[in-house]
Structures are given as structure tokens and as C-alpha cells.
Amino acid sequence: MAKIYCKANNLGKGFITNADQENVTSLNVKGYPGNVWQVEDNTTGQAWITRVNGVSKTKAEAQTLVNTVVAQSQSDWDALPSDSFEKQNNILRPEAITITE
């Protein structure tokens, strides 16, 4: 099934509800860095985007948002001193993420 994308702030409780999951067509949502969300292009997904005040994005726009956040995370990691907790404890540098359909 086709996917649609949006940018929406996850405000915690109520962002994804039991009611979303209990629809005739349950919500299938996948989150990415930068508050980017992917849902199936059906009435449930479209209604969820509306409910969470999501701003619709094309796949290319969504990928650009994800790339920007990942690049900033990589820059932040690269700027850490070699004796930082993250580098001393083998916490890996953030990797590129590709949105899949």
C-alpha cells in the first residue's frame, strides 16, 4: 500500500491511541528523526495526520528533514572530545537513515 508522510510533534500521551489501532483499518505508523512520520495512505492514516496536526510532506521532503537531523547528530558526535562518555563507551556515531516505502 502507498505511504504518506508528515511532520508532527509527538506530545506524548494521546499521540497514538488505542482508538487509532482499533479502527477497521488499524493505524500503521513509523517514526523517523525530526518528527517525521510515515503512515499508510488510507482513511485511517489521513485522519491520524489531521488529528495530530501533521503537515503533509512528500517522500523527498520527509527524507530531507530526516537527513538534516541525522547530519546535525553526526556533527555533534564528531565534535565530542575523544575522552567523552559517548566515545569511551562505544556509543556509535549516528548513521544515515533512508525512508523506505
Q: How many helices (H) and strands (E) does the chain have?
A: 4, 4
| Under-50 pLDDT residues of the chain | none
Residue 100 DSSP label: -
CB 15 within 8 A of CB 52: yes
CA distance 57 to 46: 12
pLDDT of residue 90: 85
Tens-digit pLDDT profile for residues 53-74: 999 999 999 999 999 999 999 9
Domain boundaries, the chain: 3-88
pLDDT of residue 101: 79
